[in-house]
Amino acid sequence: MASKVIKLPLIKKSSLSRPMIVALVEASAKQMHGVPYGPADIKGSFSSLIERGLVEFKHVDLQNGKQYMWQLTPEAMKMLTRLGVYKALNK
């Protein structure tokens, strides 16, 4: 199974607003439970997370075809850990 991450250009690098943090937590919860998600599934600032490089689009080659999915970047996971959110979601 090969995968390829499609990198999008970063636009902003400022601090996150409350709606962006909520969107990041929603995306993280879905990802940890193996639920596919995208802009239509996350309320609010999903596009802002993409612009900041906290969510990326991944292309995965499976035996039965190709799958495209969104995933949090390592930077986003570090941010959630610093906020204490990631640890709370893992309980």
CATH architecture of 2-89: Orthogonal Bundle (1.10)
Q: Are 5 and 55 in contact (CB under 8 A)?
A: no
For residues 18 and 67, which has the higher predicted lDDT (pLDDT)? 18
Note if the pTM is more than 0.85. no
Domains of the chain, residue spans? 2-89
How far is CA 45 from each of CA 26, 60, 64, rounded to the nearest angstrom?
11, 25, 33
Q: How far apart are CA 47 and CA 20, in angstroms?
A: 9
- pLDDT, tens digit, for every residue of 39-56? 888 877 788 888 888 998
Question: What is the side-by-side strand order in the sheet with 55-62?
Answer: 2-6, 55-62, 65-72
Mean pLDDT, the chain, rounded, equals 78
